[in-house]
């Protein structure tokens, strides 16, 4: 069962990497302006917030497997419609593509939340640290494969065929998840959720977190790694331009070094972890980011990206595996949604600050990201170690 879930993780990330780049190129070819696709990306966080508000209660009222499978089918159908629209050159068809791209994001947010909530019912407690590290590796590997495949496919095939391949990957993901056997997660209440029910469900979660504030701290700390990774993607091009003369080979080299660090995480991950290990890996993140900020050597920068990938992989594996164990079955969906909501907020703040610093210089941008990592490390030292080790009552 764990292998099926990991296979679904790989396939969905390949599909995500493919459609993100293919849609961007398609809209640019149609309009000649990056702004058309930037509009869709710019509303991603807003769509995410609106989706997560409903995703959590719906997942808790049904079950994660059903919602994840339905989200996969939804995305497959949208990709089929995009393939049909790609055959029509008219302005109306292009507007429809932009609208469907936004709907695709809704399915993506429902899928991510449901897949996260699905793990405790599929992966044994003693295997969750290793599972988390491998899932993170497959996330990066899948996106790299998807982005790489698009260029090759579009050189030989039409946009419609590429979109249909993407639809097939989403459908395969849905079928794999549908065949999963999930323990302790039967269908519960009806899926139709009114606004008043949504408010009631979120109040129930808030009351639970007030009784167990360590759970809130745990979820908040777990957003740090994802926010740092998002900001790293933002600084990569300016860093290569300033340090390595804009050599595109180094874009792949540094990105590959970070992914190789995730491989190290998987190879060395063990069945458990402690708060002491968590703080140690967070300190390593700060150290490697500091080296990237000041180093002029290509070897030192590449080695630091390798170490940073490993350190982020370890902290993510420890935090998420513990969070899997703490989530009550009746609230898994809402806790997953709350986590992704916090990730969106922290990432928006981080990207805003990083962008401002990058307007001064690439080292200032990297320094801002190092400051973010330092802040999360200090929070962990102050209140997070107890939250990390405490079991939910």
What's the predicted TM-score (pTM) here? 0.75
Angle between helix 332-358 and 91-118 (nearest 10): 120
Based on the fold, state whether residues 328 and 382 are members of the same structural domain.
yes
The answer, yes or no, to whether residue 271 has pLDDT greater than 80, is no
pLDDT at position 372 over 90: yes
Question: In angstroms, rounded to a whole number, what is the distance separating the alpha carbons of residues 115 and 53?
Answer: 16
Q: What is the pLDDT of residue 392?
A: 39
Decide: 239 and 366 in contact? Cβ < 8 Å: yes
Q: How confident is the model at residue 175 (pLDDT cuts 50, 70, 90)?
A: very high
Consecutive H or E run containing 21: helix 2-31
pLDDT at 275 over 90: no
Structurally, the chain folds into a number of domains equal to 2
Is residue 203, in this structure, part of any structural domain at all? Answer: no
Do 160 and 218 belong to one domain?
A: no
Q: Does 206 map to a domain?
A: no
Q: Write down the pLDDT at residue 95.
A: 83
* Residues spanned by the domain of 316: 211-389
Does residue 34 share a domain with residue 95? yes
- Residues 158 and 297 both lie in one domain: no
| 188 part of a folded domain | no
pLDDT (0 to 100) of residue 35: 52
Q: Which of 145, 163, 182 is the last residue of a domain?
A: 182
Using the Cα atoms of residue 54, residue 56, residue 60 and residue 64 in order, give the sign of their dihedral.
Answer: positive
User: Quick one: 165 and 268 in the same domain?
Assistant: no
Question: Could you tell me the CATH number of the domain that includes residue 372?
Answer: 1.20.1250.20
Give me the pLDDT at residue 286, please: 94
Rounded mean pLDDT of the chain? 81
Say yes or no to pLDDT of 145 above 50. Answer: yes
The reply to whether 219 and 157 lie within a common domain is no
**Same-domain pairing of 134 and 247:** no
Nearest residue to 342 via CA among 376, 365, 367, 317:
376
**Per-residue pLDDT reduced to its tens digit, 14-65:** 888 787 778 777 877 777 665 555 555 555 666 777 788 888 888 887 778 8
- Other Cβ atoms less than 10 A from the Cβ of 359: the count is 10
The last residue of a domain, from among 182, 201, 228: 182
For 203-215, what is each residue's pLDDT tens digit? 988 888 888 888 8
163 or 321, which is more confident: 163
Same structural domain, 124 and 244: no
Contacts for 91-97 with beta carbons within 8 Å, 24 or more apart? 94/27, 94/30, 94/31, 94/36, 97/23, 97/26, 97/27, 97/30
190 lies in some domain: no
The H or E element spanning position 63 is none
101 C-beta neighbours (distance < 10 Å), count: 24
Asked whether residue 197 is domain-assigned, the answer is no
- Structural domain includes residue 194: no
Q: What is the mean pLDDT of residues 67-87?
A: 92
Please check whether residues 296 and 164 belong to one and the same domain: no
Whether 174 and 277 share a structural domain: no
In a domain, 24, yes or no: yes
Q: Which pLDDT score, from 0 to 100, does residue 115 have?
A: 86
Q: Clarify whether residues 261 and 352 are in a common domain.
A: yes
Per the domain annotation, does 199 fall within a domain? no
- Domain check: are 176 and 222 in the same one? no
- Tell which of 165, 182, 199 closes a domain: 182
């Amino acid at each position: 069962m764990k292998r099926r879930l990991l296979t679904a993780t790989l396939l969905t990330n390949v599909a995500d990497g493919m459609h993100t780049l293919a849609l961007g190129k398609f809209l640019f070819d149609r309009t000649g302006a990056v702004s058309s696709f930037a509009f869709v990306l710019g509303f991603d966080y807003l769509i995410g917030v609106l989706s997560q508000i409903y995703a959590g209660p719906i997942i808790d009222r049904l079950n994660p497997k059903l919602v994840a499978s339905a989200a996969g089918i939804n995305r497959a159908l949208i990709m089929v419609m995009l393939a049909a629209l790609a055959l029509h050159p008219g302005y109306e068809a292009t507007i429809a593509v932009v609208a469907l791209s936004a709907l695709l994001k809704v399915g993506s947010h429902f899928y991510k939340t449901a897949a996260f909530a699905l793990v405790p019912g599929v992966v044994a407690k003693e295997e969750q640290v290793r599972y988390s590290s491998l899932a993170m590796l497959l996330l990066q590997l899948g996106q790299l494969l998807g982005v790489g495949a698009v260029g090759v496919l579009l050189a030989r095939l039409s946009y419609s065929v590429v979109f249909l391949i993407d639809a097939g990957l989403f459908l395969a993901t849905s079928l794999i998840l549908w065949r999963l056997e999930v323990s302790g997660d039967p269908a519960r209440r009806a899926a139709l959720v009114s606004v008043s029910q949504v408010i009631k469900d979120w109040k129930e979660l808030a009351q639970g977190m007030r009784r167990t504030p360590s759970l809130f701290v745990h979820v908040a700390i777990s957003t740090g790694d994802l926010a740092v990774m998002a900001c790293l993607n933002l600084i990569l091009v300016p860093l290569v331009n300033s340090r390595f003369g804009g050599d595109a080979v180094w874009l792949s080299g540094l990105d590959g070094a970070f992914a190789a660090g995730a491989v190290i995480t998987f190879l060395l991950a063990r069945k458990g972890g402690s708060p002491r290990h968590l703080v140690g890996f967070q300190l390593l993140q700060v150290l490697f980011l500091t080296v990237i900020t000041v180093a002029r050597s290509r070897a030192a920068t590449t080695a630091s990206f390798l170490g940073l990938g490993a350190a982020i992989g370890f902290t993510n594996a420890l935090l998420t595996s513990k969070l899997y164990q703490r989530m009550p079955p009746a609230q898994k969906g809402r806790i997953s949604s709350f986590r992704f909501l916090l990730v969106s907020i922290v990432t928006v703040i981080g990207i805003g600050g990083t962008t401002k610093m990058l307007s001064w210089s690439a080292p200032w941008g990297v320094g801002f990201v190092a400051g973010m990592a330092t802040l999360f490390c200090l929070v962990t030292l102050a209140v997070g170690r107890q939250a990390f080790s405490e079991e939910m009552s």
